[in-house]
Each structure stands twice: as C-alpha cells, then as structure tokens.
Chains A and B, each alone.
Chain A
C-alpha cells in the first residue's frame, strides 16, 4: 500500500508535463498579484464581471505580497541547496561554511551599489546598477572560493568540514572588524527598491537555470569526474584526473552562484549586517535540505527544500520561539532515520548516489567497522 502511494507520487513528480505545468503556474502567479494591485486603484467597475473578480481578489487574497515573498525565499533556498549539493553531494566534500559565500556576495553587491559608509570609498566601484553589482557579488565570492579552496580543499573528510566552519566564523569576524567596508555593527543600507514580482521572477529564472545547469553538469564528463572523486579520490588521481582542478572549479562555480544569489537577497532585503548576512543557520538549511531530499541527486535538494520550507513555515507560524530547537532536532532525526532522503524512498536499489553509499565510500571504513550496509541496523 505504502509502496503504491510512493510510486504514484513519484510518477507524478517526475512527470515532465507536471513539472512544466508547475513552472507555468509559478510564472503566472504574480499576474494575480498585479491584477489585485490594479483593482485597488479602480474606483468604479466597467462591468459586473470585473467587479466580481476584483471583489474576489481583494477580499479573498489568493496572492498577496507575503505569498510572493515566501515563494522567493523558497526559490533562494532551493538554489542554495542545489549549489551546496554540487560540493557536498557530488564531490563528497561536506561544507559547513557555505554561507560565507552568500554573505560575501551580499556585501560585495551592497558595496558596489554604493552603500558604503566610508567617505573615501573609490567612486569607480560604487553606484553601479543592480545587475552588474549582483554579478560582481558573485565574482567576489568566486575569487574568495579560489583563494580559500586552494588551501582547504587539500583537507579530507571531517577536516574540510571543520575548516570551512572556521572560515565562516573567521570571515564573519574579519568583516565585522573592517568597519570601513562593512559598517561594523551598523550594517549597510542598500538603495530601497520594493518590487516583489521582479525578485520573484528573477529568483525563479535563476532557479530554473541553476537546476537545469546542474542536471546537465551531472551528465557531462565533468560531473562524472566529480562523482569519481567522491567515490575514490586517489583512484581518480591515478587515472590521470587533475582532482584539485576539478574540485576548485566545482567549488568556484557553487560559490559564484551562491554569491550572486546573496547579492540579490541583499537588494531585496535593503539592509544587511554581518550577523544576518553570515547567518550560520543558512548553512544548516543547505545541509538539511540536501539531506532531506537525498544527497548527491539533482532533484533531491529541490524536493527537500520545498518540503522543509513549508514544514518550517508551519513551525514558525505556531512555535516561533522554538524553531531553532526544532531545526537541530530535525537534523539529528534526518541523519539517523532517513539517511537516504526522500529520493532514497523512491529508489528501488541504491546506485551510489544516496547518503548511505556516499558515507560508506567516502570515509573509508577501517576494517573493524567493515560490516555489510555500513554497520547500520535494518
């Protein structure tokens, strides 16, 4: 019975027509919002039908500004989780500090848009318009990824994870200390531009591009190489693969997209400071969402983000005070009891892309722990 429901859900979710339909609905959603805004301006209605439609839109509130914001946040989280999955899932380098690129992108964009509080800030890199500034934020994050990655990507396993966690904490402190650039505790204010549909469409388009890009990447030789590094890094090296170059490239691509999204988020938020830009919970979000969906799969982070986002929305709405406790406990529960994620429930047999396989292969177990199925109780 349970299997039937699962396979039905699977057949619906992975149906191409269903996916395209969802995307079309998502694209049409803001028109209802725009129609509602237009209705508010009308004083008298030209026809009874228009009046009934407008009454419905205004009184029933099918699409509000808050709903668009919710969706935008969800799209951003999906993009971040998919990016994190590029390193954490495909390459097998679990990154506990990925939010550092988000924060750097946000600060880079803010500074390029001329929100510096410093008098002597050079004019040539300020007052940029939003689009080049967003790309600039991504570039800042990517350059930092190349610098930091060439050191930390030499570390293996838990060492990499903790070094990246350290990167996040250290960079946050450095940014906080360099008051000239970051505004210190005051933070930076960006030019105010309230346009929900714009950010909605922008994040939706980036989301579609990123997910399809990662899907394409997974199918190319480059993606296969990343998986080979995850499975057996020394073996891959012996085959003549330049593993360091591949790792740094994947790391930089992920950092670039994360940084650009951070820039977009900063512009949408209109105010940033070190604590909200380098929020540690953002990393946890990425890790949890990828894990809940299924580590190392293309659709896993997308599904995981959607499920977790709405689940958390319910928690926030009802138990705001306890939401972080909930996150910590949920992470433990996911890791212990649903290690393969939602995609693992769908899969008939493991093909080396689920968490259990990754962990089994990635951390070479010493012989004493070498039990079938990784020492887990079934």
Chain B
C-alpha cells in the first residue's frame, strides 16, 4: 500500500466517521440553539440509545438498524418527560445551573445503566459486515451504511425544520421567545417536543455507534465533548455546518491516528479537545459565528 492509497483510505475513514459525528451532535446543538441549554447529559442519552440497540440485538437478535422503530418513540418519550420534569425548571435560570443540573443528570443516567448492565464493554453484532474492495482501498460496509443512515436522518431533520409548521415554530422560538409567544406559539409545548425530538435523534445516533465500536456506560463524557467541539466549529442548529464540522473532526482524527506513530484510538478525544480550545480561544463566536451564550456572558 503506497502513500496515496493510505491517504485516500484515511480520508474515506474520516468521512465515514464524520457523518456519524455530524448526526450525533445535531441534538446537542439544536437544544442549545432553541432552548439555550448546554446539555452535558448529551453523551449519556447517546449511550442509552446504544444500549437499547445492544439489548434488542442480544435478546431478540434484531438488526441494529431495525431497532430504530423502538428507539425513536422511546427516546422521544424520555426526552419529553425529562423536559417537563427537569429542564423546564432551569430554563429561566443562568447557564451555570443548567450545566450543573445536566451534569448531574448525566452521572445519574450513566450509573443507572452501569447498575443494570455492569461496566463491561458491549458489542452489537450486525449482518452487514465485511468490506468492499476498490484496488488497494477498502470500504467497510457497516460504516458506509452508518453514513447513509446519518445522511438520511440529517436530510429528514432539515426538511422538518425548514418546511413543516412545527419546525418553523421551533425556529421562531429559537430566534425570540417573546415574539414566538406573541404570535400564539405554545412555547412550553414547543420546548418539550424539541427536546423529545433531539433526544430521539441522539438515541438514533447511539444506535449508529453501537455496530461500529464497543459501548460502555461511561463513554458519554467523551461524546459530549466531541459534540461540543463540532458545535463550536459549526454553530447552532446549522445542519450543513454540522456535516462540515463532523467531517473535519473525523478526518483530522484519522489523519493523526494514521500518520503519527504510537497513538491509538484515544487520540480522538484529544483532537476534539484541542480543536475546541483552539476555536473558542481564537474565535469565541464559533468558527462560522452563531454561538449563542457568549454574548450574554460578558
């Protein structure tokens, strides 16, 4: 395998994982954009989705992608209830309170899963495995399917936000809560359904993670951090930006893992951390602008 093939292979791997990153962080950035809550429990909701897939796969032998029909409604319900019982109480309060409450929520979720399913790493088995070969370059089937599924989800969310009446009211609530109230939008209902949809999307992204890597109850923090890093690059609720940011992170991660010797998979989190701090220090408004709270925080 010569250098150009290796480079192409690395880029392909980066793009394949980048789609997953993009769909994974959308829930985080839409919640931030619409409700102004930085959800530190994001990665843990992702983990719950992944565990649901694993349980269905293990006990009933379901394909991970089929598990979506259970995950989407169930995660929507979880999000809806969380919003009404918990997030509603912290909306009017400062960001610090939201940070701490969602942090606590994340720990509670992760430990609950640990108590039920122990901390052992779990792997989901899918029939769509193997590789397609193009000369020296190979294309993993599972990851390609994950990318396709991620793209479908993103297009779905985009159409939902742009075209449907409810998507428009969500965007209205994101722009100005007061004005949205004035034109007759029930803001609490919008918030609850937004949270539900975002958590459902996050759970679906968790389903995408489970067939391509091992999952464990405490993987949440790393994913939250990645979501934050991509949000810092792409802005809030910006779907094309999310795709771009996810691809950048995926490619940078894979380039480093391939061409720098002696570092394994742990590099991913370090890459996103360095990207995050670099973007926030040099451009506090985000790479393409549009990060919300920093203007409020002087």
Q: Interface of A with B (CB < 8 Å)?
A: 94, 96, 151-152, 154-159, 161-163, 165-167, 169-170, 173-174, 176-177, 233-234, 280-281, 284, 287, 291, 321-322, 324-325, 327-332, 335-336, 339, 359-360, 362-366, 368-369, 371, 374-376
Whether A363 pairs with B296 at a CB distance below 8 angstroms is yes
- Chain A residues in 8 Å Cβ range of B262: 177
Q: Which of A167, A287, A365, A375 contacts B100 (CB 8 A)?
A: A287
A325 touches B111 (CB 8 A): yes
B296 surroundings in chain A (CB, below 8 A): 363-366
Interface residue ranges of B209-225 to A (CB < 8 Å)? 221-222, 225
In the complex, the answer to whether B277 meets A163 with C-beta atoms within 8 Å is yes
Scoring A167, A170, A331, A376 by chain B CB atoms within 10 A of each residue's CB, the highest score goes to: A170
Are B96 and A363 neighbours in the complex by a CB distance under 8 Å?
yes
Q: What residues on B are CB-neighbors of A376 within 8 Å?
A: 92-93
Instruction: Please tell me the size bucket of the interface on B.
Output: 35 or more
CB distance from B2 to the nearest CB of A (A): 28
Query: Which chain B residues lie closer than 8 Å to A287 at the CB level?
Result: 100
A157 touches B96 (CB 8 A): yes
- Name B residues whose Cβ lies closer than 8 Å to a Cβ of A: 38, 40, 86, 89-90, 92-97, 99-101, 103-112, 114-115, 177-178, 221-222, 225, 228-229, 262-264, 266-267, 269-270, 272-274, 276-277, 280-281, 284, 293-294, 296-298
Contact: A363 with B225, CB < 8 Å?
no
Q: Given A94-B99, A327-B108, A330-B104, 8 more contacts at CB 8 Å?
A: A156-B284, A158-B96, A162-B276, A170-B269, A173-B270, A177-B263, A325-B115, A331-B103
What is the minimal beta-carbon distance from A236 to any residue of chain B, in angstroms? Answer: 12
Residue of A162, A165, A291, A366 ringed by the most chain B CB atoms within 10 A: A162
> In the complex, which residues of chain A have a beta carbon less than 8 angstroms from the beta carbon of B276?
162-163, 166
Task: Give CA–CA (A174, B274) in the complex, Å.
Answer: 12
Given contacts A155-B284, A369-B92, contact A169 B222 (CB under 8 A): yes
B270 CB to nearest A CB, Å: 5
Least CB separation from A153: chain B residue: B281
Chain A nearest CB from B53 CB (Å) reads 23
Alpha-carbon distance between A329 and B107 when the two chains are bound, in angstroms? 8
Q: How far is the CB of A309 from chain B (nearest CB, A)?
A: 18
Give the residues in chain A near B103, CB-CB below 8 Å: 96, 284, 331
Q: B277 touches which one: A152, A161, A321, A364 (CB < 8 A)?
A: A152
